[in-house]
Structure 1
Amino acid sequence: MSESKPVTSSSAPQEFSDLWSKNRERQNAGYEEMMRVTGNPVPWAYEVWDEVVDNLVHEDNHNRAIAAQILCNLAVSDPEGRILKDLAALIEVTRDKRFVTARHCLQSLWKIGLAGSTQRAALVDALAARFSECESEKNTTLIRNDIIVGLRNLHEATCDETIAQRATALIETEDDIKYRGKYAKSWRQ
């Protein structure tokens, strides 16, 4: 997929179509505005949803990173729970060949948990699985730390103590005492 079709909705802001612009300045401005706007529920989420999901596999890693972050933000505008169906695609972006793209996604995933208890439980399970499975990857420590920080952010936003219990349990699975300490410190910050 090389070029996304722009959204035809009249209710989505103009900056939405700028997200996929080849002009980086325009794309970055659109990204900043859409991250701001989608930080709260928006009525046009489903008008753009499929386009955002399609961009998770775009050939341009900027588009993949932007799509992942926007989709995580749109979860609060998703009363139908579509994010549950698309969570696996987002987790796949955390394995992106461009690690910076993977990290942008990892660092945004926690926002899905703000959409409700079902989404929160599915997200925490997915992050716990990702924490365990990344052991053989090149950037294990960064991936695991991003997961712990994301869980901390979600815990702070929701006060859900099951998240704290799960994060503590994940930290305890780390065999290397140095990294276990690093993750524990990231949890406390």
Structure 2
Amino acid sequence: MNSKIKLEFEKSKSGDKNERYESYQYILKVTDHKVDWVYEVWDQLLEDLTHKDNHQRSRAAQYLANLAISDPEMRIMKDFPKLWEVTKDEKFVTARHSLQSIWKVGIAGTTQKEMVMDYMVARFKNGTDKKNYTLIRNDILQNMRNLYDHFNDMTIKQTALDLIDIVDDKKYKKKYIDIFK
């Protein structure tokens, strides 16, 4: 890992709000592509998933999701449940930002895609007792759309359409269908 990346990780945790945000944006951009330093930050990011600061939890989740494409040891398969927990964070904004990035784990490979889809399908079906479940469902379907666009895999689209089919509320059903138009 070069010194620029190290510095950006440090700045994303400290400094003023603007500096943190710029570093966050930089790290997300860099990790959109494979990197060879993934395991130099992996354990710290796992630890940060339970950090007392919700911003740290959110950033750690988003970075790990992005880094799944750089994970030849497939550690994400073992560590995914820890990452998934942040999608249920007590701070809704943290949960939502984490959930919105979770699809990136799925582009790391077929096994990862299937795991992410399984988690999302279960959450879609079983999460109606949670606050803001319609937004969560929307994010899950948008994640599926992102995976569908990446892989052009009709089974992903069909799974999403099947989930939309179980929605009773016409207003939300229409909103959800629009994601796949």
TM-score by length of 2: 0.94
In the alignment, which residue of structure 1 is the partner of 2:108?
115
In the alignment, which residue of structure 2 is the partner of 1:74?
67
Quick one: which amino acid aligns to residue 18 of structure 1? K
> Is residue 2:128 matched to residue 1:135?
yes
Structure 1 segments, 4+ long, off by >4 Å, are 9-12
The percentage of counterpart residues that share the same residue type is 47
Pick aligned residue for 1:162 from 155, 163, 173 = 155
Cα distance in structure 2, aligned partners of 1:41 and 1:31? 17
Deviation at 1:169, TM superposition (A): 1.2
Quick one: which amino acid aligns to residue 139 of structure 1? N
In the alignment, which residue of structure 2 is the partner of 1:64?
57
In the alignment, which residue of structure 1 is the partner of 2:137?
144
Cα distance in structure 2, aligned partners of 1:128 and 1:48? 30
In the alignment, which residue of structure 2 is the partner of 1:50?
43
Quick one: which amino acid aligns to residue 128 of structure 2? E
In the alignment, which residue of structure 2 is the partner of 1:176?
169
Cα distance in structure 1, aligned partners of 2:130 and 2:145? 23
> Is residue 2:11 matched to residue 1:18?
yes
Tell me the alpha carbon deviations over residues 3-55 of structure 1, each in whole angstroms, 9 at most, x when there is no partner: xxxxxx65671212222225323221210110010000000001100111111
Cα distance in structure 2, aligned partners of 1:112 and 1:69? 10
Counting matched residue pairs gives: 180
Quick one: which amino acid aligns to residue 51 of structure 1? Q
The RMSD of aligned alpha carbons is 1.4
Tell me the alpha carbon deviations over residues 40-92 of structure 1, each in whole angstroms, 9 at most, x when there is no partner: 00000011001111111111111111111111100010111111112111221
Cα distance in structure 1, aligned partners of 2:127 and 2:110? 26
Quick one: which amino acid aligns to residue 81 of structure 2? A
Could you say what secondary structure the match of 1:135 adopts? Answer: coil
Could you say what secondary structure the match of 1:136 adopts? Answer: coil
Using a 3 Å threshold, how does the CA distance of structure 1 residues 77 and 28 change in structure 2: closer, same or farther?
same
| Structure 2 stretches lacking a partner, 5+ long | none
